Amino acid sequence: MTRSDPDSCPGVLRLHQAADGPLARIRVPGGRLSPEQMQALAAAAVDLGDGNIELTSRGNVQFRRVRDAAELSERLTTAGLLPSATHERVRNIVASPLSGRTGGWTDVHPLVPALDEGLRADPRLAELPGRVLFTLDDGRGDVSGLGGDIGVHALDDATYALLLAGKDTGVRVPAAEAVDLMLAAAHGFLELRDGQWRLHEIPDGGTRLTEHLLANRSDLDASGEPVELAPRQDIPIGWLTQDDNRVALGAGVRLGSLPARTAEFIAAVERPIFVTPWRSIVLTDMDEWTAEQVVRVLAPMGLVFDANSPWLLVSACAGMPGCAKSLTDVRADTAEAVDSGRVIHTGTPQVAREGLDADEIVATGRQHWSGCDRRCGRPKGAVTDIIATTDGYRIVPAD
Ligand code: SF4
């Protein structure tokens, strides 16, 4: 696939003109936010946006109906959330959220600032399309299945597999060289691309980029036993005991929209926060008493700490009024389906149907609601599609 247009991914300095007003997307490498940054986002959402912080499928955040872009960029710069005007849109870095706290072979989070700084330090890499995704997986397999362009996946506590276009290349690299190899792959992608926004859009892109890297590094080969990487909906939810016996709390965010007031309470806990690519957050490094108070206060405010909640089964595109293409307010229909008990975990297998009114829909398991056939934001993996058409909703079961 060759594209003739530059990618139109929004940033803070280049807003997207959505149907309901300007939209700004803020990159959050590794999903990590300090409490001060969360507080700054909450204040900006109230003062300059629609009062909500939207979480994206890349662990970034965005504001809708932005009123003063200059003021927003100034505030984000002060908060350390806009460290580069030239490279802001290329900092799409997802890392295993719980890495270094529980599970996984190693802690990938120290690689995040190293990769981010490496990207920002290189003028040529500002030319990367804003859609390129970097993934850092500590071996548990939670983010390697997201279909990133360039990634590493820990195989033990000292070795990473290089992933390109979402697949294992067979190239193995010591931890100390992982970031440099990812940066070299980013350069290689720029040399190979002919307008494409993503590596998988280049015919044999992963293979050709691997060959390109091996041609320039005589110490590398691609002889590693391939690792299978499957999409997983691996949301860390609820009470998670860290290896150091402190507590992390995973919290689902209903339809990925975090009200500023809730964000203020999260910031007030004064612990490191991670935005996950599953539109949830993880609040870390708490003692048990603090974690109990967090659940007591934030669950009634709508955060989801119950892994069996139907809210964790649903996702939805922007829909009306945010998207001009939408045929309906799909998010309101999704919320109504959850609230009225029509989103269920198990039951009879989902069957294909069409011409349904929103209140007729009863759907089982993971499901994505879309305001039109484009199905924006659809998660990877087995997901039932519920799609608005001019003749009512159509259900396409996962297969
Ligand atoms: S799926 Fe359609 S309605 Fe929904 S955001 Fe995408 S283009 Fe808009």
Q: pLDDT (tens digit, 9 = 90+) per residue, 282-310?
A: 999 999 999 999 999 999 999 999 999 99
Asked if residue 3 is part of any domain, the answer here is: no
* DSSP structural state of residue 36: H
The closest residue, in CA terms, to atom 6 on ligand 1 is: 376
Q: Are residues 46 and 161 in the same domain?
A: yes
Last residue of a domain, one of 274, 307, 340: 307
Q: Is the pLDDT of residue 351 over 90?
A: no
Contact partners, residue 296, CB within 8 Å, separation at least 6: none
Res 8: pLDDT:
79
Span 82-137, pLDDT tens digits: 999 999 999 999 999 999 999 999 999 999 999 999 999 999 999 999 999 999 99
Count other Cβ atoms within 10 Å, centred on residue 395: 18
Asked if residue 179 is part of any domain, the answer here is: yes
Q: Are residues 141 and 154 in the same domain?
A: yes
* Residue whose entry in the numeric block shows the structure tokens 């003749």: 391
Count other Cβ atoms within 10 Å, centred on residue 244: 10
Q: Which domain holds residue 375?
A: 311-396
CA 108 / ligand 1 centre spacing (Å): 34
Q: Are residues 296 and 351 in the same domain?
A: no
Last residue of a domain, one of 276, 307, 338: 307
Res 4: pLDDT:
64
CA 17 / ligand 1 centre spacing (Å): 14
Res 2: pLDDT:
67
Rounded to whole angstroms, the Cα distance separating 136 from 277 reads 12
Query: What's the domain count of the chain?
Result: 3
CA 22 / ligand 1 centre spacing (Å): 16
Q: Are residues 299 and 248 in the same domain?
A: yes
Rounded to whole angstroms, the Cα distance separating 313 from 307 reads 10
Q: Are residues 193 and 317 in the same domain?
A: no
Q: Are residues 27 and 162 in the same domain?
A: yes
| Element of type H or E holding 77 | helix 69-78
Asked if residue 115 is part of any domain, the answer here is: yes
Q: What is the CATH number of the domain that holds 282?
A: 3.90.480.10
Cis omega (within 30 of 0) for bond into 35: no
CA 332 / ligand 1 centre spacing (Å): 14
Q: Are residues 60 and 165 in the same domain?
A: yes
* Candidate from 16, 17, 257, 317 with most ligand 1 atoms within 8 A of CB, to mutate: 317
Q: Are residues 45 and 103 in the same domain?
A: yes
Q: Is the pLDDT of residue 363 over 70?
A: yes
Q: Are residues 280 and 328 in the same domain?
A: no
Residue 393 forms beta bridges with which residues? Answer: 356, 388
Q: Which residues line ligand 1 (CB under 6 A)?
A: 317-319, 323, 325-326, 370-372, 374-376
Query: Is residue 114 a contact partner of residue 179, using CB atoms and an 8 Å limit?
Result: yes
Last residue of a domain, one of 181, 216, 251: 216
